[in-house]
Amino acid sequence: MAPSGRTVAGTRSRDRSDRWEDGAVPEPITPDTKDWTWVLEQPCAECGFDPSAQTLADLPTLMHDSAMVWTDVLRRPDARERPAPGVWSPLEYACHVRDVHRLFAERVQLMLDQDDPTFANWDQDETAVEGDYPGQDPAEVDVELVEAAGHAAGLYATITPETADRGGVRSNGSAFTIGTLGLYHLHDVVHHVHDVRA
């Protein structure tokens, strides 16, 4: 669901030999190849997100509230367990959400610093493998996710009506303003809360 591409600041690799106690490597997840930009124009039937009900001014609070959910999720005994083959565990979803917050904060800052920048490509599935999502520590991920969400929320809080329309272009040609990028970002993280609660 996140824009396609490669690495995010703060993503780390580990020795994969000690990821899982039984030594079994989980199957690759089913790649998400959908273009989710339609969520800027109509409600998401899966998670209930309605772009028309959100404004840029709502983002800081909603980012904060969605991040707080993950503390309880990551404390669940099944946080490392995949609900089905090819589907991320709650821990893997949390790692992804953390990295989404970091990525979008980088992109918003780029849009503030440059005129109509083109964003580097980012592949969420490759990032999950390179960052060893299944092997990360849930307690550390919880802290990092809250920090990343807080940084993104703080950045959105600085956006004014004059800067909200500053633009940027994704590597596939999709054009965003800071306002629409913020809504796209918000849907991504809200949707993943739905994923781990469904």
pLDDT in tens, 19-62: 444 555 566 666 666 677 989 999 999 999 999 999 999 999 99
The pLDDT, as a whole number, for residue 172 is 87
User: How many beta carbons lie within 10 A of that of residue 23, not counting itself?
Assistant: 8
Instruction: Give me the residues paired with residue 177 across strands.
Output: 167
Fold of 56-197: Four Helix Bundle (Hemerythrin (Met), subunit A) (1.20.120)
Per-residue pLDDT averaged across 123-132, rounded? 92
Tell me the C-alpha distance between 127 and 135, whole Å.
13
The pLDDT, as a whole number, for residue 12 is 38
- CA-wise closest residue to 18 among 155, 134, 105: 134
Question: Cα-atom radius of gyration of the chain, to the nearest Å?
Answer: 16
Say whether pLDDT at 3 is over 70.
no
Domain ranges within the chain, ordered by starting residue: 56-197
| pTM, two decimal places | 0.84
Q: Which amino acid, 51?
A: P
Instruction: Give me the residues paired with residue 175 across strands.
Output: 169
Q: What does residue 137 show for φ and ψ, rounded to 5 degrees?
A: -85, 120
Q: Let me know: does 80 contact 91? Beta carbons within 8 Å.
A: yes
Q: What does residue 64 show for φ and ψ, rounded to 5 degrees?
A: -60, -50
Q: Which amino acid, 169?
A: V
User: How many beta carbons lie within 10 A of that of residue 20, not counting itself?
Assistant: 13
Per-residue pLDDT averaged across 84-107, rounded? 96
